[in-house]
Amino acid sequence: MKLVAVDWGTSCLRTARIDDDGSLIEERRSPRGILGVPAGAFPQVLRESCGDWLDLPDALCLVSGMAGSRQGWQEAPYCPCPAGFEELAAALSWITPGKVALVPGLSLDFLGTPDVLRGEEVQVFGAMDLLQLQEGVFVLPGTHCKWVRVAEGRVQSFTTFMSGEFYALLRQHSILARTLPAGDGPLDEPAFLRGVRHAQQSRSILHSAFSARTLALFDRLLPAALPSYLSGLVIGEELRARALHGLQVVLIGEPALTERYALALRSLGCDSHRLGPEAGWRGLWALARRLETRP
């Protein structure tokens, strides 16, 4: 089986050819995320991106991410939690039987309200395979950060935090935007950790966020340090909501962002392990291997 792995997000299309042993042979990137694909044009865009790979004998294409959403190629119904590789494999939505399939994502209900993963589940399963873990806590920072709890090789539960989006709203559309500099600049580690600590001691981000303005008003933080401080506040608020004592966390995502989470966790006495895009490719490869062994 020759695996063509696809991560089709809102703003980006990433494709990869994966070797039999799970190693990356070649990777391609395109700006043709789902929002840039007209209705009915998904097969054409996929072929433009990796049609030469799809034409290889025994090629299998697994597509994860927002291509399986209602705004994407075709809606792939969510697979309910708890779920492992077997449940995910059984819930694939086949575009072309035996050839091209959409990975469904995961769902659960908490206090009568649904929550969902779409694409992150593949990264979690890939991290489990890479690190040979059957349990743990996996954190995927981003616009909507996901905290995923795994036990006995299956995703048992997860929680979504709108941390990245909330930071952007405060950064660009609140009174704080008048004080903060135009660009974020490099991470100011002392300012970032100050924000993390303040969030731990504050009762609410609705209260603590205003400190990003008052620290500037009283010249207690330089303007260039304020984005890092605000980032620390938001991430610190997210961590304040978690029971972190003695927890070991696997962080999955872009290096610059996972570095911030690792730094914040370390300041609170928590160890973490960091993985990047390789987790997603590994997850699709491991899922393909499960399909090979199914009767």
Residue 88, pLDDT above cutoff 60: yes
Residue 293's pLDDT band (boundaries 50, 70, 90)? low
pLDDT digits (tens, 9 = 90+) for 180-193: 998 899 999 999 99
The amino acid present at 235, given as its one-letter code, is I
CA trace torsion 168, 173, 178, 180 (10° rounding): 0
Of 196 and 269, the one with more pLDDT:
196
Which DSSP string do the residues of 151-206 spell out, in sequence order? ETTEEEEEEEE-HHHHHHHHHHHSGGGGTS-SS--S--HHHHHHHHHHHHHSS-HH
- 119: phi > 0 → left, psi -120 to 50 → alpha, else beta; which? left
Q: How far apart are CA 106 and CA 274, in angstroms?
A: 23
Question: What percentage of the chain carries pLDDT values higher than 90?
Answer: 92
pLDDT, mean of residues 247-276: 94
Residue 115, pLDDT above cutoff 50: yes
Residue 292's pLDDT band (boundaries 50, 70, 90)? confident
pLDDT digits (tens, 9 = 90+) for 141-174: 999 999 999 999 999 999 999 999 999 999 999 9
Helices (H) then strands (E): counts for the chain: 10, 14
Question: What percentage of the chain carries pLDDT values higher than 70?
Answer: 99
pLDDT value of position 242: 79
pTM above the 0.85 mark?
Answer: yes
Question: 10 Å Cβ neighbour count for 50?
Answer: 21
Average pLDDT, the chain: 94
pLDDT value of position 294: 53
What are the tokens at 289? 């291997």
pLDDT value of position 295: 46
Q: How far apart are CA 281 and CA 240, in angstroms?
A: 31
CA distance between the termini of the chain: 16
pLDDT digits (tens, 9 = 90+) for 240-254: 877 777 777 999 999
The dihedral sign for the CA sequence 205, 209, 215, 217 = negative
The amino acid present at 3, given as its one-letter code, is L
pLDDT value of position 1: 76
